Every structure is written in structure tokens, then in C-alpha cells.
Amino acid sequence: MTDVVVVGGGALGAATAWWLARSGRSVVLLEEGTTRLLRLAARGTTWSAHPSWTGDDDRALLADAVEAWGLLERQTGADLLTRRDAVDHTGGSSRCRPGEALQVRADHAVAALLAGATGHGAVLRYRSPVVAVEALDDRVEVRTAAGRIRARRAIVTSVRAATGPAVELHFRSRVPVGPATPLIAHHDPDLGPMRAVPCAQGHIAVGAGSGPRGTLGDLREHVRTWLPDLDVDRPEPVGPEAMSTGTCAVTVDRTGPVLTAVSTALGSVTTIARGRQLAEQALVGERPVARRARA
């Protein structure tokens, strides 16, 4: 009997499967799509974290995530976590926090998490849509079109809605975007919290939300004076969830041996740490998930 079946091969499901497998559990991960579709879904998305976007409760989670990305990098050889300078614009003044902003390329991260999970023995089954998950007294039966899988636990992951700024535009920069390009946080009375994030495509994503005004025209005119190096008259196309910032919340419900986890975003820098939390919740009463013992 399999220890844990994980349903959903996106960022959260892959992270959860990786933690479980590296702790010695037998894991089957079921994904209705294919590897190519997973990579396409994440392509171009950059997960970013800036100190001013992070509350007290999330700082410990970010620290756990930084350590976990390092573990995954050592296992897979992938270069995943990038540090940048974090700049705060407040009240006409600027403050720079060297190396305190974090970024992860989503497509690279999902690929590395899946590779890491299989490297520790997890079994990945693509094109395996789940028909039903039945919680029994001491086990779970997961039904797919190909048959039934019996397991001690099941974790079902999904995304309720992608989060992000209320308005977002991408611009080419007259100054080349590179490793020295910072993440910038700013607050405008009309547009609310604003952020400027270097993207994998080589341009700058600028987003704003939660203010009394929030149209694309408002954002463009504000950027014209706030970030004069950007070519505001020729915005670039914005792909699906091209900017993902801060942390994403995960709501977990339990029905016997089945956990259902719903994330508020496709992923974030902290998703790898959320995966550990989810793995530990599924294994309550068993030996804990190893954090450092194995790369």
C-alpha cells in the first residue's frame, strides 16, 4: 500500500510530494495534464518576495523557504533562488536593503520539485485525472480512469484563484535588466501599494492594487514620473500570472486520512515551505518530515 497519494502536480503538489519522498514515504503523484502543460502553465512567471510585502507571520516561512530551495538546488543542480536588492520608496525618500528581495522562476521551480520528488522515489503519473477520492477508516482509495490506488493518506491540491495586483503593465527598460536590477516597493495614495519587479522576459512588471483608483491609464501615468527609465508609451504584453508577489495562503480541510489544500495562487517563493507544512499535517502522529537530513 502506498503511503501517500498526492493529487495535483502543480507547485504545491510537487513541493508536498518532494518533502514526503525525501522523508522516506512512498508517494504517488497524480496529474491530469502532462509535464509540458505544467511547464507551459508556469512559463514566464516569476515568484517574487520583498520585505515590505511580508508580514511578521510570513518571515519565518520565508526563512524556511530559503533553506528548502537550497536543499533542492543541491539535490538537482538547478539554479533556483535569486537574491536582489530591495528598494522602498516612501514619502519621497528611498531605502535600499541589499540582497533582501527573493525571486524564483516558476517553471524551473516546478521542474526541479518534480525531479527532486522522483529522485527520492516518488512515482509521477501524468494524464491521470482523478474520478473520486474515498476516505475509509484506515486508508484511502483514489479512483482514476486507469484503476484504483490504495494509500494510507491522500492530499488533494488545487488553486482557487490566482492572486496579483489589481492592475499590471510590463515595460521595456532603457537600462538593461540584469542581476543588479532591484525589486521596488512604493505606495501611492490613489493606486495603493505598488511594485516594480524584474521579469524573466527581460522587462519590468509594474503592478498596483487596493487603492481608490486603479486603471491602467492611472498606472502608466504614475510610472512615467516614478520610474523614468521605463518606456511607458509602449507597454509589453502581459502573460497569465506574469507577476506573482508575496506569499500565497493555503486553506486545508481534513476528512479522516484525506487532506484538501486550496492555494490562493499558482505559487510563490514560500510554496516550497507550504509543501512541508502540508506534508507534516498529513502525517500527524508519525515521525516528522525531515528538513535537513537529506539533500
Secondary structure E strands in the chain: 2-7, 27-30, 46-49, 81-90, 93-105, 123-125, 130-135, 140-144, 147-159, 167-171, 183-188, 192-198, 204-208, 243-245, 250-255, 258-263
Give every CB contact of residue 259 below 8 A, 6+ residues apart in sequence: 153, 154, 155, 156, 252, 253, 278, 281, 282
pTM for the model: 0.87
Structural domain boundaries enclosing 178: 167-240
Q: What is the DSSP letter of 282?
A: H
User: Does residue 199 belong to any structural domain of this protein?
Assistant: yes
Residue 111 confidence (pLDDT) above 50: yes
37 and 74 together in one domain:
yes
121 and 262 together in one domain:
yes
| Among 68, 105, 94, 239, residue whose Cα is nearest residue 168 | 239
What does the alpha-carbon distance between residue 49 and residue 212 come to, in Å, rounded to a whole number? 24
Condensed to tens digits (0 to 9), the pLDDT of residues 19-47 reads 999 999 999 999 988 765 555 555 567 88
What does the alpha-carbon distance between residue 67 and residue 61 come to, in Å, rounded to a whole number? 10
> To the nearest whole percent, how much of the chain has pLDDT over 90?
43
176 and 35 together in one domain:
no
Q: Which residue has the higher pLDDT, 44 or 196?
A: 196
User: Does residue 88 belong to any structural domain of this protein?
Assistant: no
> To the nearest whole percent, how much of the chain has pLDDT over 70?
83
Condensed to tens digits (0 to 9), the pLDDT of residues 50-68 reads 888 777 678 888 999 999 9
Mean pLDDT of the chain: 84
DSSP H or E stretch at residue 276: helix 271-282
Domain count along the chain: 2
For the ranges 143-147, 167-171, 217-221, the one whose mean pLDDT is highest? 143-147
CB 219 within 8 A of CB 170: no
Q: Which residue has the higher pLDDT, 153 or 190?
A: 153
191 and 58 together in one domain:
no
Instruction: Report the 10 Å Cβ neighbour count for 28.
Output: 20
Condensed to tens digits (0 to 9), the pLDDT of residues 200-258 reads 677 888 887 655 555 777 788 888 888 889 998 888 776 544 555 556 788 999 998 99
CB 250 within 8 A of CB 262: yes
User: Does residue 90 belong to any structural domain of this protein?
Assistant: no
Q: What is the DSSP letter of 173?
A: B
Query: Quick one: pLDDT at residue 170?
Result: 84
176 and 228 together in one domain:
yes
Pairing type for strands 140-144 and 147-159 reads antiparallel
CB 125 within 8 A of CB 6: no
CB 84 within 8 A of CB 103: yes
User: Does residue 52 belong to any structural domain of this protein?
Assistant: yes
In order of 2, 4, 13, 238, 281, the CA distances from 254 in angstroms are 19, 14, 16, 37, 9
